[in-house]
Structure 1
Amino acid sequence: MTARPVGRRVWALALAVCALAPAPAAAQQLPPAQQLVQRYLDAVGGREAMLAAHNTRTRGTFSMPAAGLTGELEVISGKPNRVATKVTIPGLGDIRNGYDGTTGWSLDPMMGARLLSGAELETAREQADPLANVRDPSAFTSMETVEQTTMGGQACYKVRLVWKSGRESFDCYAVDGGLMVASVNTQESPMGSVEVVSLLSDYRQFGGIRLPTKLTQEMAGNQQVITVTSVEFDVVDDAAFAPPAEIQALKPGN
């Protein structure tokens, strides 16, 4: 006759103990994406400093260690939304691509000259926008911190970006210091989409701005390394952004 009362007392005691026990710690709240972007901009010199130059010329080296390839790299970018890249590899030639504000193009020894279209063109247009480089909200439909993780050996907050075109990419901002230490993008090409994981390191000062001087990229099982040796501001002539003659010949009406 006493089993039930004893059972009830045991359950009551268990419930009381549970009520007195400390609640499990709540999951750590992730910093908002905009807060991480602002922290990054502060760490590199500020939004205004990042947008101050009318144009920029970056020079350095390019290598694919597994293939034994090395070359010289030059990237020019200019307002409002222009960019051109040239990689010169001895024995292979020049690999060039760009966006002049209207036309996206590519020129290399393997595939020749071609105009970009579809997702390739849209990606080139978005990446040429200076506001996208400072992660201005106007360039995206959403920005969200999704997790704390580790990339390149550094703890970082991973931010998911949804661009106006609908494509997604990810930035990773260091927990310690706030610098961008990695990014994950989808590279469009005639052969399809390829995920590119980039590790950014060795930040240095150029004209009052801190920029990464080493970019290690992993794509389709291959690694390529870009090392920046110089960055110059407002030294590029506007004519330098014009597509080469091979590209001009492909434009409608020519």
Structure 2
Amino acid sequence: MLKQIEEIRLTASATFGSDTAERSVVITMKRPNLMHTVTTSTTGKVVSGFDGTTAWAVDPQTGGAAPLVLEQSTASSLSSPQMDSTLGYLRAMVAGQTIQMIGNDEVNGSKVYHLRAKWSDGNAFDYYIDQNTFMIAKTSTQIQQAGAVQLIESYPTKYRKLNGVTLPYSLDVRVAGQSVFEMQIQQVELNPAIDAGLFNMPQPSGGK
């Protein structure tokens, strides 16, 4: 079933760090690493995307209506399988990447298997699999951002089965141990009809 999933769309509510104001978020992902996100709040709408090479955003509060190219470290993090925690280490296996058993560990009081996936770009991603449920309890990776190495951890919970695939419906993302993003998923669509152009950076107004 995993090999048949080419596209995923998530509809969710989310909060960012210490800001408890809830936003509406729609995240669309397409193999191998394309992403498009629309975040709506009381102050407006922010659209961001990754086309496989360039990470971009349109944020009326900071850059007006013109799309902005994001820094390379952001592009690298978006291109990583870490962003696709809905399928986790299983996607690494489907993609034929190397999976290494690191050992036993513990996450939030539960015993887990610690696995490491190494990808073709040289990045390594750690997956912590609950020894009772075999669901992902945590993922982690390190990225270069603003000249420093940042540890990014994701904690997926509230798993449900959809069309034969078990997916998390809650996600807590932490940077250096601090929660920066919490998401409660209301709807998951597998293989929705998606225009491939959705992920491309929009042309500036009047652009060719």
TM-score if structure 2 supplies the norm length?
0.77
Query: What does residue 180 of structure 1 align with?
Result: 136
Q: 2:30 aligns with which of 75, 78, 91?
A: 78
- Please state if 1:50 is matched with 2:6: no
Shift of residue 60, structure 1, vs aligned partner: 0.8
Query: What does residue 98 of structure 1 align with?
Result: 49
Asked if structure 2 preserves the Cα contact closer than 8 Å seen for 1:82 and 1:241, the reply is no
Note the alpha carbon deviations across 1:6-34, whole angstroms, 9 max, x for none. xxxxxxxxxxxxxxxxxxxxxxxxxxxxx
- Please state if 1:194 is matched with 2:146: no
Asked if structure 2 preserves the Cα contact closer than 8 Å seen for 1:200 and 1:216, the reply is yes
- Please state if 1:219 is matched with 2:175: yes
What amino acid is aligned across from residue 50 of structure 2 in structure 1?
Y
What amino acid is aligned across from residue 117 of structure 2 in structure 1?
L
1: CA distance, partners of 2:149 / 2:96: 21
Sort the Cα spacing of 1:123 and 1:133 in 2 relative to 1 into closer, same or farther, 3 A. farther
2: CA distance, partners of 1:123 / 1:218: 14
Asked if structure 1 preserves the Cα contact closer than 8 Å seen for 2:51 and 2:199, the reply is yes
**Gap runs ≥5 in structure 2:** none
Kindly indicate which of the two structures has a greater share of residues assigned to strand. Answer: 2
What amino acid is aligned across from residue 58 of structure 1 in structure 2?
L
What amino acid is aligned across from residue 75 of structure 2 in structure 1?
L
**Percentage identity across paired residues of the two chains:** 18
2: CA distance, partners of 1:189 / 1:107: 20
Query: What does residue 62 of structure 1 align with?
Result: 14
Q: 1:124 aligns with which of 71, 75, 78?
A: 78
Sort the Cα spacing of 1:168 and 1:213 in 2 relative to 1 into closer, same or farther, 3 A. same
- Please state if 1:144 is matched with 2:96: no
Shift of residue 188, structure 1, vs aligned partner: 4.9
SS in 1 for 2:132: coil
Note the alpha carbon deviations across 1:209-251, whole angstroms, 9 max, x for none. 1100011122243343111111112333315624353xx349x
Q: 1:166 aligns with which of 122, 126, 144?
A: 122
Asked if structure 1 preserves the Cα contact closer than 8 Å seen for 2:13 and 2:22, the reply is yes
Sort the Cα spacing of 1:123 and 1:174 in 2 relative to 1 into closer, same or farther, 3 A. same
- Please state if 1:228 is matched with 2:188: no
Sort the Cα spacing of 1:96 and 1:145 in 2 relative to 1 into closer, same or farther, 3 A. farther
Sort the Cα spacing of 1:126 and 1:208 in 2 relative to 1 into closer, same or farther, 3 A. same
Kindly indicate which of the two structures has a greater share of residues assigned to helix. Answer: 1
**Gap runs ≥5 in structure 1:** 1-48
2: CA distance, partners of 1:203 / 1:122: 28
What amino acid is aligned across from residue 153 of structure 2 in structure 1?
V
RMSD: 3.2
Note the alpha carbon deviations across 1:98-138, whole angstroms, 9 max, x for none. 22244332333565443246444344334389997611275
TM-score if structure 1 supplies the norm length?
0.65
SS in 2 for 1:197: strand
